[in-house]
Structure 1
Amino acid sequence: MKKNIFVAMSSILVLGAALAGCGGNQAQSDNPNQGGSQAAESAAKTGPQVLKWNLHSEPPTADPGLSEDTTSAAIIRATFDGLTRIGADGQPHESVAEKIDVSEDGLTYTFHLRDSKWSNGDPVTAHDFEFAWKRALDPKTGAAYAYQLYYIKNGEAYNKNKAKAEDVGVKALDDKTLEVKLENPTPFFKELTAFPTYYPVNRKLVESNPNWAMEASTHVGNGPFKMAEWEHKNKLVLVKNENYWDKDVVKVDRIEFSMVEDENTELSMFDNGELDWAGAPMSALPTDAIPALKESGKMHTQPIAGVYWYKFNTEKPPFNNVKIRKAFAYAIDRQSLIDNVLQAGQLPAMGAVPPSMALNKDGYFKDNDVETAKKLLAEGMKELGITKLPPITLSYNTSEGHQKIAQAIQDQWKKNLGVDVKLENKEWKVYIEDLHQGKFQIGRQGWLGDFNDPINFLELFKEKMGGNNDTRWEHPKFKELLDQSALEKDPEKRKQILADAEKIFMDEMPVIPIYFYTNSWVQKENLKGIVIGGLGDIDWKWASIE
């Protein structure tokens, strides 16, 4: 889901993510799917458990329907709960739903809700889920992740003004029963219902206050924690939600988040005891510190289903020319970048789909193919009728890691293609808005899987004006293949259809795949139960401090 804010690690935003198919991983954890008596005894002896963390940047929103980045998603996952929740085993487990019935044809899901409450004491009902999903699909909402709800009957049609809200296949049969009808059998649907876009929102609150999600005083969730303070761009504090249905397994009483953008400062704060964790997935470790941290054995590293890539604005010259796009892609030495800059076991990305769900394990082009890159650049410039490239700008959001990657690739493009590239960095919220508005030529982004299936990476580029397709690239055959894959029930045939789609995507090169993520971090030894999923997401629900 997620847009990655960071680098060399992390977040699916900072570098990584995957779903149940990949298998979840857990950092220094006891069984987080169960309550722990040891943690409870520890809490009794030591008093309130306070967890100290750094977010690296301000969350753009705490609204599940509008979330589109990993920082926001992490805060939302802490303050909300879905029908299902991903456990330490990487699998979806019943959460707000205590029972799930699935029809034989796989097209109808009936969720039976347990007794649960919002953080303000209101009951959570099936009507809240129906309202939340239709709100995210409403074209007036402008939710970037609306397409994640297209699996629901008429979800896409409603989002594109071709159907009415009442036509959407989600209906509260009563306060405790939610019926969902799908367009096609969706084997990963229980994983999707653990995703923030599928979380409920409190209808009365949302309709009475459009800005409810931007201040601690008005924020209401149904998750393990609730928001106590939000001092914008400085501090955010979550406290245990006593109204949470599963509150007995929540051992941490308070999570205090700072918002320090400099990775070196963050690591210093960790070393000084001011933080319990530094690095991915909410931030990144300083690249210069990684060799020593690896040597000391303090650094934890985990592969995740995420890709770091550069997006082209394909509507503006010179990157409206496919040969020039390929030239820039082929002229990057990814292995050198990993060995000398990233240094955390990342893999060169020669395709769009991560190894955990790879469609073509050999990739679609060679790394550092300078000869071919020069040839393509010359041919592309001839096709555009130019003898000199216009000024080229590479944009990235503020981060030491992103900056070092950009500088290294800037040098490679100068050396291999003779091209001068200007670097431009912006604060995350401004940066992502500019990407969406097409105010860029080449822009970095990370994508972490929302679930472990290739469609989650390919469908980003299905529609020219899709919520996350900042490239504005579109291809009729590519769209046709993705639609065909949704109808194919044979797993191997479906995989071949998606492989054909990825081949078209890489032949057109609207993005430059650079590397596949790993998450890297350091943590206090007495911190247990943090769940880092195979998709790179984080869950503090089962955390404890011993």
Structure 2
Amino acid sequence: MKKSVTRKSLVMLLALTMLVTTALTGCGKKATNNTGNQTGNDTADGLVIDVSVGPEPETIDPTINTTVDGAAYINHAFEGLMKLDPEGNIVEGTAESYEVSEDGLVYTFKIRDNAKWSDGTPFTADAFVYAWQRLVDPATASQYNYIIDMVKNANEIMAGEMDKSELGIKALDEKTVEVTLAVATPYFLEICAFPATFPLREDIVSANPDTWIQDASTYIGNGPYILDTWDHQSMIVMKKNPNYYGVEKVGPDTINFHLMEDKNTILASFENGEILFGDDLPSEEIERMTDKGLYIQGQLGTYFLCLNVENEALKDANVRKALTLAIDRNYIVNSVTKGGQQPADTFVPTGLSDVETTTEFHEVSNKWYSVDPADYEANVKEAKKLLADAGYADGKGFPTVELMINPGHESIAEAVIYMWQQELGINATISSQDWAVFSDTRSSGDYQIARHGWLADYNDPISFLDMWVTGGGNNDAKYSNTEYDKLIKQVKASSDRKERIDLMHQAEDVLAKDMPIIPLYFYTDLYLKSDKLEGFYTSPLGFKFFSNVSVAE
């Protein structure tokens, strides 16, 4: 990253996304309107839109949430010091301005004079101090606590060595927040737009730590929308926040977020005109829906399988590598997912810059294996040898393993376990859990193999690599390697671009050697959007924004 170009880097990234989109969908614009009776009605209560961005969220607590769909709700109800605008720029949010010291270590943010909480209470700088201290507090157990580990004393607090009050953030007065970093961080302003760093009302959260998100009267935010009702497993309704400083520019008066997990249900609801937007659809319907509402955009993310390295059957790296090499990724993206995905040959995806910003990190990386279709036979041969070296020639003696998924991933799982059986003689079963349960089970490590996916939290390769440090909040593989930990620590202690990038390449090489994960493909973002919905925007990080939309007649 360029030292002071956080917003420019994201603009560059969005430009790349648009190039990918153009290649896949002709500039991402569909040719015809698929229905004539979709929602988006002007009622006595104003403009109401119906959309779906995912299933019942596990949580909508900014500090605790780890999912992209959960972030969609949070992004509408809260706002950080900075925010992402429709053009892809990181711009001032709750802060009207900011200054950075010459050494890049001290950021001073001025809060808008007209910033208020959604209940009309004046907004003060203390809200950020409380939220950030809560994020790193070991008692909170946030899986995203490391997102601000560049802040002074954050690592020591997370390790239990210092009190949370020592975190390098303070309110200089009611409208001024000062953040002191331990190391200059080129993407810090992007962190200030990330949901985990959003402000919180201490009086409300501390009084209702486990239930404040469940009740509209206590789910008090500072964003463009207010939680009106939450009918679990059915719908989250948000209303325009009259106390938002930019309320005059907010679009819909009401957003009905339909909670849907089944892709066929999402598609049917879109085609029936019940929703204007649906996040995802069945892969077998991609061809039919082309030019009928389907958009495909580039996305910074990797779909992979997570291997529980503490499981007896998966402790041997040779076994993990054999499972990896036996998978035909080209078959998966061409015959199963069919959404323009790219076979993954590393963990860090395409789209992130290397030392020279004109070169991609992925382009320079050592590839973990070949994804050339002509090399698949050689991959399988190597996989069989590795499995034999582990003591399981032709799969004999290897126990049946379980691949855990959530609904919508059956076809990928079926293809993978078929390849393992056909090529290696390994038997595997599939178990499916609803999203909220699945996410918790995977996080707790109560599984053998689980589907996983990771989207960048900001425009830097470390967003992918730091999740695998020992004891990391998102380290669902339970992976631990002291050499890897040391490399990541060095990356985070450096502000020298070349040094950081070189160290990250070394870290990815260590990850390849140990193979605690099996990359399958680099994501594209598939969604259904009506022609009538104007002003909608998304980001390569997966966030969907509806606060600026209007509905054409």
TM-score normalized with structure 2 length: 0.88
The percentage of counterpart residues that share the same residue type is 34
Relative to structure 1, the CA distance from residue 541 to residue 104 in structure 2 (aligned partners, 3 Å threshold; closer, same or farther) is same
Task: Tell me by how many angstroms 1:287 deviates.
Answer: 1.2
Kindly indicate whether the alpha-carbon contact (under 8 Å) linking 1:130 and 1:170 is maintained by their aligned counterparts in 2.
Answer: yes
> How do 1:55-454 and structure 2 match up within 5 A?
55-115=53-113, 116-210=115-209, 211-278=211-278, 280=279, 284-294=280-290, 296=291, 298-357=293-352, 358-361=360-363, 363-367=367-371, 368=376, 369-381=379-391, 388-399=397-408, 402-454=409-461
Relative to structure 1, the CA distance from residue 374 to residue 467 in structure 2 (aligned partners, 3 Å threshold; closer, same or farther) is same
Query: Which residue of structure 2 lines up, in the alignment, with residue 484 of structure 1?
Result: 490
Task: Tell me by how many angstroms 1:493 deviates.
Answer: 3.0
Give the letter aligned to residue 88 of structure 2: G
Query: Which residue of structure 1 lines up, in the alignment, with residue 550 of structure 2?
Result: 544
Instruction: Number of aligned residue pairs: give it.
Output: 508
Kindly indicate whether the alpha-carbon contact (under 8 Å) linking 1:29 and 1:531 is maintained by their aligned counterparts in 2.
Answer: no
Q: Deviations over 1:6-52 (max 9, x none)?
A: xxxxxxxxxxxx9555227689999xxxxxxxxxxx99999721110
Give the letter aligned to residue 219 of structure 1: Y
Kindly indicate whether the alpha-carbon contact (under 8 Å) linking 2:293 and 2:531 is maintained by their aligned counterparts in 1.
Answer: no
Kindly indicate whether the alpha-carbon contact (under 8 Å) linking 1:311 and 1:511 is maintained by their aligned counterparts in 2.
Answer: yes
Q: Deviations over 1:272-304 (max 9, x none)?
A: 1111012x3xxx21111111122x453211010
Task: Tell me by how many angstroms 1:466 deviates.
Answer: 1.2
Task: Tell me by how many angstroms 1:387 deviates.
Answer: 5.1
| Separation of aligned partners in 1, 2:258 and 2:45 | 22
| Separation of aligned partners in 2, 1:29 and 1:225 | 28
Query: Which residue of structure 2 lines up, in the alignment, with residue 455 of structure 1?
Result: 462
Give the letter aligned to residue 203 of structure 2: K
Which one of 475, 478, 481 corresponds to residue 481 of structure 2? 475
| Separation of aligned partners in 2, 1:446 and 1:44 | 38
Q: Deviations over 1:350-380 (max 9, x none)?
A: 1010101253426221234111111111112
Q: Deviations over 1:89-131 (max 9, x none)?
A: 3221001001111000001101110021111111121101000
Q: Any idea what SS the aligned residue of 1:355 has?
A: coil
Q: Any idea what SS the aligned residue of 1:290 has?
A: helix
Query: Which residue of structure 2 lines up, in the alignment, with residue 35 of structure 1?
Result: none
Query: Which residue of structure 2 lines up, in the alignment, with residue 5 of structure 1?
Result: none
Relative to structure 1, the CA distance from residue 43 to residue 409 in structure 2 (aligned partners, 3 Å threshold; closer, same or farther) is closer
Kindly indicate whether the alpha-carbon contact (under 8 Å) linking 1:68 and 1:144 is maintained by their aligned counterparts in 2.
Answer: yes
Structure 1 range deviating more: 115-124 or 325-334: 115-124
Task: Tell me by how many angstroms 1:513 deviates.
Answer: 0.5
Q: Any idea what SS the aligned residue of 1:318 has?
A: helix
Q: Deviations over 1:411-464 (max 9, x none)?
A: 11111111110100001111111112211000011100011110000000012x
Structure 1: gaps of 5 or more residues? 1-17, 31-41
Query: Which residue of structure 2 lines up, in the alignment, with residue 530 of structure 1?
Result: 536
| Separation of aligned partners in 2, 1:509 and 1:20 | 33
Kindly indicate whether the alpha-carbon contact (under 8 Å) linking 2:28 and 2:295 is maintained by their aligned counterparts in 1.
Answer: no
Task: Tell me by how many angstroms 1:196 deviates.
Answer: 0.6
Q: Any idea what SS the aligned residue of 2:361 has?
A: coil
Task: Tell me by how many angstroms 1:526 deviates.
Answer: 1.5
Give the letter aligned to residue 421 of structure 1: A
Give the letter aligned to residue 359 of structure 1: F
Give the letter aligned to residue 289 of structure 2: L
